[in-house]
């Protein structure tokens, strides 16, 4: 970049916010901290460096104080560092055109006052919006510290990567693009292992927010949010390229709504923000899409360099991204608009029906409920244990296929039908006119291995049969999913239980106290010889939590009460 010729005198003031180049400072000088207004103690070389003038610094070291001769200015360099320099060392400077290695606008400085930062960010957004409306793209020079960029590159090497589907690759990585991608997941600030990437991603969010009030009038769309950051890196070698080779879309992807979701993305995207964190050179080419403003215009070629941010109208411009080297790192996101007519049409379906109905018709499903779309549950393992000797899914399928059930005459070990049931289905108050039911075998509820689950002999005597079945069958289902007691400990897994309660009332079987504490109340507490374990054995709340508690699961444990006969459901996510 060639500095603009300096035409002013040595005592002319430098405009606050203008770009300057430092000339004539051949020795190291102290670094200046804008936030505290003091020197950091570090020495930096500034000769030939370019930055932004933040204003005059007075005797106290703070911006805006009454100046003294000679004038001293605070300058923030493009590498994020700052220094105090006299006027005679500063030349006002203008960047070259972006096509020649320059840029359109510099990122606003990190001013100590929030109002100043907001004003500077607003001016930057206005300049970016003006460039977008004029030529469809804008290149921004960033001012991040080299330490942040180096740490971001280090963090990027630790991420888990994959590759988009082959048919979708160009929409994310550009025409002829290749490489691996990883979506940034957001954590609490004090727990985020990728703080540097999160800081750079936060700059993209700040720009998107500042552009939001301008997009309606200047760009003709309404900004409704941004997507999660996408980290891009080239393949490290041919073997990694072979392992992460993009796979074509499968029928399972179509059924899972991957294609529908991508179509929504195509219809709703408006701006692409591409942060060039690090590269060793290369080129990015922007070309008009067929539906763009000038489809036959020549493509724009931009040389790649570290520390820049490209914003372009991805709904009008396509791109080809070709960095050199194997250590390049980029961070991308997209600003979305879900209010467009095309997005609304895609969301409701082209024929005034839902996407689910169209998908069902395409799959040949003409009766019954439509094929579900969008986010759905993935069943990794199933297990069945129902009356009739059914101990696994194969037996349950056979029972359904043959049209049988597990109903038997109520055995005497449950209760005496001669005492509690009427004959020939007669109706009599206080008695049942049904003498059959679906019941598990006695061995299925009495042969419980309490030691395997770490339950004491005293506690297991108070547990209802359904709690024992929940533990046995719940663990069986988890084993089918490839888990065991060791891998379940501290696992982020939630357990959900459908429960209508139990007819097994342990209180009714306990001895009544000779001196009851609540003689006038029809409750067992204080009236029978119970212990601290008694209530937990019959409580639906405890039933839901036993599986999570015993195996050390860290997810939620929920139960839902339904007034439906024989409702039993254990669901582990």
How far, in Å, are 198, 331, 416 from residue 227 at the CA level?
14, 12, 65
Q: What tokens appear for 534 in the block?
A: 């008694």
3-class secondary structure, 140: strand
DSSP H helical segments within 106-157, as ranges?
Answer: 114-135, 146-156
Confidence of residue 296 (pLDDT cuts 50, 70, 90): low
pLDDT, position 335: 92
Residues 498-545 have pLDDT tens digits of: 887 777 766 555 666 677 777 776 666 666 666 777 778 888 888 878
d(C-alpha 45, C-alpha 49), whole Å: 8
Cis peptide before 70 (omega within 30 of 0): yes
| pLDDT surpassing 70 at residue 572 | no
pLDDT (mean) for 481-498: 90
Q: Which has the closest alpha carbon to 120: 61, 200, 34, 206?
A: 206
Element (H, E) at 208: helix 195-218
Q: Which has the closest alpha carbon to 567: 505, 465, 498?
A: 498
Q: In what order do the strands lie in the sheet with 568-572?
A: 557-561, 495-499, 568-572
Residues 424-478 have pLDDT tens digits of: 778 888 899 889 998 888 888 888 999 999 999 988 888 888 899 999 999 999 9
| pLDDT surpassing 90 at residue 64 | no
3-class secondary structure, 393: helix
DSSP tag of 439: -
| pLDDT surpassing 70 at residue 60 | no
Lowest pLDDT segment from 53-57, 319-323, 370-374, 414-418 = 370-374
Confidence of residue 12 (pLDDT cuts 50, 70, 90): low
Residues 190-232 have pLDDT tens digits of: 555 678 999 999 999 999 999 999 998 899 988 888 898 999 9
With a CB cutoff of 8 Å and minimum separation 6, the contacts of 343 are 264, 267, 268, 337
* Higher pLDDT, residue 564 or 409: 409
Q: What tokens appear for 134 in the block?
A: 């004029």
pLDDT, position 63: 60
pLDDT, position 305: 94
Residues 93-118 have pLDDT tens digits of: 999 999 999 999 999 987 767 777 78
d(C-alpha 473, C-alpha 423), whole Å: 37
Lowest pLDDT segment from 25-39, 205-219, 243-257, 300-314 = 243-257
Give the Cβ contact number of residue 190 at 10 Å. 6
| pLDDT surpassing 60 at residue 573 | no
Q: What tokens appear for 385 in the block?
A: 């244990």
* Torsion angle in degrees (nearest 10) through CA of 277, 164, 319, 125: -50
Q: Are 214 and 269 spatial neighbours (Cβ–Cβ below 8 Å)? A: no
First to last CA, the chain: 57
Q: Which has the closest alpha carbon to 44: 35, 60, 59, 32?
A: 32
pLDDT, position 223: 85
């Amino acid at each position: 970049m060639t500095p603009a010729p300096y035409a002013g005198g040595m005592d002319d003031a430098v405009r606050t916010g203008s770009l300057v180049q430092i000339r004539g400072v051949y020795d190291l000088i102290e670094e200046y901290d804008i936030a505290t207004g003091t020197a950091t103690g570090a020495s930096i070389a500034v000769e030939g460096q370019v930055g932004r003038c933040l204003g005059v610094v007075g005797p106290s070291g703070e911006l805006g104080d009454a100046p003294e001769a000679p004038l001293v200015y605070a300058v923030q360099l493009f590498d994020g560092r700052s220094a105090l320099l006299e006027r005679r060392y500063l030349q006002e400077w203008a960047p070259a055109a972006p096509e020649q290695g320059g840029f359109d606008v510099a990122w606003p400085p990190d001013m100590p006052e929030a109002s100043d930062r907001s004003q500077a960010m607003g001016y930057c957004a206005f300049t970016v919006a003006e460039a977008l409306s004029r030529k469809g793209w804008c290149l921004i020079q960033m001012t991040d510290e080299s330490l942040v960029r180096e740490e971001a590159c280090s963090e990027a090497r630790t991420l888990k990567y994959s590759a988009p589907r082959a048919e979708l690759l160009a929409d994310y990585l550009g025409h002829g693009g290749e490489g691996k991608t990883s979506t940034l997941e957001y954590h609490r600030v004090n727990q985020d292992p990728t703080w540097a990437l999160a800081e750079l991603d936060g700059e993209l969010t700040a720009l998107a927010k500042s552009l939001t009030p301008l997009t309606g009038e200047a760009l003709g769309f309404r900004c409704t949010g941004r997507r999660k950051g996408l980290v891009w890196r080239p393949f490290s070698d041919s073997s990694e390229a072979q392992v992460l080779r993009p796979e074509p879309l499968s029928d399972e992807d179509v059924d899972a709504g991957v294609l529908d979701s991508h179509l929504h993305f195509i219809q709703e995207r408006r701006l692409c923000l591409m942060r060039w964190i690090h590269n060793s050179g290369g080129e990015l080419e922007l070309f008009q899409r067929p539906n763009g403003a000038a489809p036959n215009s020549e493509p724009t070629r931009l040389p790649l360099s570290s520390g820049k941010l490209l914003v372009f109208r991805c709904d009008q411009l396509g791109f080809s991204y070709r960095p050199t080297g194997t250590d390049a790192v980029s961070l991308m996101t997209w600003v979305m608009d879900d209010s467009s007519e095309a997005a609304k049409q895609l969301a409701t379906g082209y024929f005034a029906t839902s996407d689910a109905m169209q998908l069902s018709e395409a799959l040949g499903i003409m009766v019954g409920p439509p094929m579900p779309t969008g986010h759905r549950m993935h069943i990794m393992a199933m297990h069945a244990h129902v009356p009739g000797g059914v101990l696994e899914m194969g037996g349950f399928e056979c029972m359904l296929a043959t049209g049988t059930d597990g109903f038997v005459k109520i055995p005497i070990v449950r209760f005496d039908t001669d005492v509690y049931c009427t004959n020939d289905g007669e109706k009599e108050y206080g008695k049942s006119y049904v003498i059959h039911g679906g019941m598990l075998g006695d061995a299925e509820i009495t042969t419980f291995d309490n030691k395997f689950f770490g339950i004491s002999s005293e506690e297991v005597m108070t547990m209802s049969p359904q709690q024992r079945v929940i533990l046995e069958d719940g663990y069986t289902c988890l084993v089918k999913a490839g888990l065991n007691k060791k891998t379940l400990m501290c696992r982020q897994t939630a357990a959900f239980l459908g429960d209508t309660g139990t007819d097994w009332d342990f209180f009714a079987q306990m001895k009544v106290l000779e001196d009851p504490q609540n003689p006038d109340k029809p409750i067992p507490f204080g009236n029978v010889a119970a212990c601290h374990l008694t209530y937990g054995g019959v409580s639906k709340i405890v039933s839901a939590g036993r599986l999570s508690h015993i195996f050390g699961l860290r997810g939620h444990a929920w139960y839902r009460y339904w007034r439906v006969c024989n409702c039993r459901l254990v669901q582990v996510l």
